[in-house]
Amino acid sequence: MRLGVHVSAAGGVELAPERAAALGLETFQFFTRPPQGGRVSPIPKETAAKFRASCEKHDFETCYVHAPFVINLASKEERIRASTIDILKQELERASALGARAVMFHPGSANGVGEEQAEKLVVAGLQKILDGYMGSSQLLIEISAGAGMVIGDTFEEIARLLEGAASDRLGVCFDTAHAFASGYDLRTPESVATVMKNFDKTVGFDRLYLTHLNDSKVELGTHKDRHEHIGEGYLGLGAFRALAAHKQFGKLDFIMETEEEGWEQDIERMKKIREEIKR
């Protein structure tokens, strides 16, 4: 279990590993471009070399890229779907150049097309993105909170997307706050065991690559994406002890996406939980 947060890459992606090291992290997540999207140039070889060298210097064996928020593979507008495909292709190539383990993304919203058609559009988009892809980074579907018509809030839906895309380059990022908001109770060892058994049966642990470890500002099943600091939301510290102690889930890298003010406490709490589990 490696612990990390989402760090800034402002001023150049090569600066992200140094910022992560300054926080005492063991892994980290970052954007390779502004989260609002926009055109970008390929990452220069010199920049990629600096990034990799910094990761090696600070003993980062893994790091992760988050795709921009503007993407939507299920948009009713072909222009937006095409742009999303291009962006995700670019992000996979950029992540591979930097040596990042994976790129995670939100599939988008079914608004205007309906859920059944949205799934077909997402699958078609994923097939185009991964067709001919030879890079080293995985592409990860992030579990959503299920607000409105957002796709990917149930294990069953994610399983259908994985099956439809039919690629071993595609996996899952499990966001604890999103899953809780979507109705998956993670507050006790017993409920965690039940949810994880369901996930393994429906999706499979072999497709699970990363955890976004966030507490929730909203109650179970409210379908709102509201992150809270570890132990200060409706999940509570007991949830994170149970998740970290789970024999399979606890082996993953944990990336916290909480507000920067409070990171030190979040990291310290998770390190303490990890030590308690080891004993």
Q: Look at the block and give the residue holding tokens 């642990």.
A: 205
> Mind listing the pLDDT tens digit for each residue in 34-93?
887 777 888 999 999 999 999 999 999 999 999 998 899 999 999 999 999 999 999 999
Provide the strand spans (E) within 115-230: 138-142, 170-175, 208-212, 215-216, 227-228
Binned at pLDDT 50, 70 and 90, residue 112 comes out as confident
Binned at pLDDT 50, 70 and 90, residue 158 comes out as very high
CA 42, 259, 143, 230 torsion: positive or negative?
positive
Q: Residue 197, by phi and psi: left (phi above 0), alpha (psi -120 to 50) or beta?
A: alpha
CA distance 112 to 232: 36
For all residues of the chain together, what is the average pLDDT? 94
Does residue 188 contact residue 241 with C-beta atoms inside 8 Å? no
Model pLDDT, residue 277: 87
For the segment 24-36, the average pLDDT, to the nearest whole number, is: 92
Cα–Cα–Cα angle for 61, 70, 96, nearest 5°?
25
Model pLDDT, residue 259: 87
Model pLDDT, residue 57: 97
**Helix or strand run (H / E) with residue 4:** strand 3-5
Q: What is the CATH number of domain 3-278?
A: 3.20.20.150
For the segment 140-158, the average pLDDT, to the nearest whole number, is: 91
With a pLDDT cut of 90, the percent of the chain lying above it is 84
Model pLDDT, residue 66: 96
Query: Where are the domains positioned within the chain?
Result: 3-278
Does residue 67 contact residue 87 with C-beta atoms inside 8 Å? yes
